[in-house]
Structure 1
Amino acid sequence: MWFTVGGTVLSIQDEMENVFVWEHLQAYEGLSKGAWLGMTFNPKGGTLVWHDNTAVNYSNWGQHDTGPSMLSQNSCYWIQSSNGVWRLGSCTNVTMGVICKIPRVEESSFSRAALPENTTAIAVVVLSTLALCAVLGVVIFLYKRRQSAERGAFESARYSRTTANPSESAEKNILVSDMEMNEQQD
C-alpha cells in the first residue's frame, strides 16, 4: 500500500473516473508516460485489490495485459497518459508519475459547520457598527444642543449702561431686542 499525507495512490472505480484521470494525464504526457495505480495482486484470491483491500471491479486493460499468468506480487500497474489504458509495468520504472487521491469532503457538511461562525461574526460587526453610529449621533445631537443653549434667548440682545448707582442702574438697564431697536429707528 502506498499512502501519502491525507491520501492514497490512485484507484479508479469506474469508466467516468478513468476518463477523468486520462484527460488530466494528457496535459503531462511529455513529462511522464502515465501514472501508477494503487493496486496490488492478492495471491490468496488470485485477484487484484486496491490499496484499501477492495476488489478491482472495473478495469481498462490493454489487449495483452489481461491474462492471469501476467499478474504477480512483483508487478506494478499504471494508466497510460496517451490513451487511458491500464498496463503492467516494472516497479522500478521512473517515467511514471504518481497521482494521489484524497477522500471527497462533502460541501454541505463543511458549509453547515462554517455558517454559524460566519453568521455570528457578521452579526457582531453589524451590531457594533450600528451601536457606534448611534453613539456618534447622540454625541452630535448633544453638542449642537449645547451650542444653541450657550447662545440662549439673549443672543441678539443689547444692554444699555448708565453711570448711575446700582439700584438705579438695575432699573435703567433695559433689554432691547433687535426688533425693538428697528422699530424705534423707523
Structure 2
Amino acid sequence: MECPRKGLRCRPLLLCVSALWLQLQLAAAGDCPADSRTWVPFQGRCYHFVHGQEDSIKSYTFERARTLCRGFEVLSIQSAEENEFVLKYSPEVWKGTVNVWLGMYYDTDSEDMKWLDGEPLQYTNWEESSSPSDLMPLETCVTLHTNTGRWENVSCLDDIENGVICETSEKTETVKKKSSALLSGLVIFSVVLILGVSAFIGFIHQRRYPGLFVFTAFEYHPPFRVLETDESCLVEAEETDGAP
C-alpha cells in the first residue's frame, strides 16, 4: 500500500486494518469441545465425524453410535443447509458411500419421530419408501445415505451402519464473545474509514490549494473582565490629573 504523499505515514492505518481483520477472523472461528477429537464448526454447531481409527469396528449399532459420542448427541439435522454440509464434508473422512446414523427416536406421547435432543422435526428428507411395514415404531431409527442425502427408516436393534457423527452446540459464552468481537471490528472499521476519507480529502485540498491550511488557526483572547468600582475611580482620577 503506497501513501499519497511521502510525508504521510500509512503504518497506523495498516495496523488498524490488520486489527479489524484479526477480530473478524476470531468472530468467525468456532469454539468446539477440546477433548482431543476433531470438531468441525458450522452455523453455531460443532460436528465430530467418527472414523475407523477410533474403534476396530467400522460398522456400529445405534447404541454403539451413542456410546462413541461420549456425552454428546448423535447427529440431528434441522435444515437443508446442514444436510448439505454433512454430504460435502463426509468425503474428507470416509471413502465411498456411508450410511450415517441420525439421532432420532419414536416418541410414544406424540406418536411421531423426534430428535434425541428434544427438538421437533422441522426439516426432513425421506426416501420415497422410508417406512418398512415390518418395523415396530419403537424399534425404528433413521440413517442418512451420503450418496443421495436421503433418509431411510431402519431397525435400531438389528441394523448396523458405518457412519457416526456426533454433534453439540458452541459454548454460549463464546457466542457472546464472538458478537462482541464483531461489534468491535465494525467500530474499528468505521474509524479507519473516517480517517481514510479525511486523509484523502485533505490530500486533494492540499493539491488544489498549496500552502493553504485546511484548519484555520484561532487567536486566543482572554475573557473580558469588568473593572471593579475602586479601580474605575482610580483610572478616572489618573486621567484627570494628567489632563492639561
TM (norm. structure 1) is 0.50
Task: Spell out the pairing of 1:58-137 with structure 2 (5 A cutoff).
Answer: 58-65=123-130, 72-91=137-156, 92-105=158-171, 106=174, 108-109=176-177
Q: Per-residue deviation at 1:96?
A: 2.6
Structure 2 match to 1:20 = 85
Q: 2:135·2:155 contact (CA, 8 Å) conserved in 1?
A: no
Structure 1 residues 25 and 34, CA gap change in structure 2 (3 angstroms): farther
Q: 2:132·2:153 contact (CA, 8 Å) conserved in 1?
A: no
1:135-156 deviations in Å (ceiling 9; x for gaps): xxxxxxxxxxxxxxxxxxxxxx
Q: 1:29·1:81 contact (CA, 8 Å) conserved in 2?
A: no
How many residue pairs match? The answer is: 113
Structure 1 match to 2:122 = 57
For 1:77 and 1:16, how far apart are their aligned partners in 2?
19
Structure 2: which 5+ runs fail to align? Answer: 1-62, 181-244
Q: Per-residue deviation at 1:31?
A: 5.9
For 1:31 and 1:95, how far apart are their aligned partners in 2?
13
Please tell me the root mean square deviation across aligned C-alpha atoms, in Å. Answer: 3.1
For 2:92 and 2:143, how far apart are their aligned partners in 1?
17
Q: 1:33·1:80 contact (CA, 8 Å) conserved in 2?
A: yes
For 1:31 and 1:94, how far apart are their aligned partners in 2?
17
For 1:51 and 1:25, how far apart are their aligned partners in 2?
22
Structure 1 match to 2:98 = 33
Structure 1: which 5+ runs fail to align? Answer: 113-186
Larger CA Rg, structure 1 vs 2: 1
Runs of at least 4 residues off by over 4 Å: 66-71
For 1:29 and 1:83, how far apart are their aligned partners in 2?
15
How many percent identity over aligned positions? 26
For 2:120 and 2:168, how far apart are their aligned partners in 1?
19
- What secondary structure is seen at the aligned counterpart in 1 of 2:119? coil
Q: Per-residue deviation at 1:72?
A: 1.0
- What secondary structure is seen at the aligned counterpart in 2 of 1:94? coil
Structure 1 match to 2:217 = none
Q: 1:41·1:71 contact (CA, 8 Å) conserved in 2?
A: no
- What secondary structure is seen at the aligned counterpart in 2 of 1:63? coil
User: What code does the residue aligned with 1:93 have?
Assistant: D
Structure 1 residues 65 and 94, CA gap change in structure 2 (3 angstroms): closer
By relative contact order (CA 8 Å, sep 6+), the higher-ranking structure is 2
Structure 1 residues 90 and 27, CA gap change in structure 2 (3 angstroms): farther
User: What code does the residue aligned with 1:57 have?
Assistant: Q
1:19-66 deviations in Å (ceiling 9; x for gaps): 101212244554662210001011221111111222111100011116
Q: Per-residue deviation at 1:94?
A: 2.9
Structure 1 match to 2:188 = none
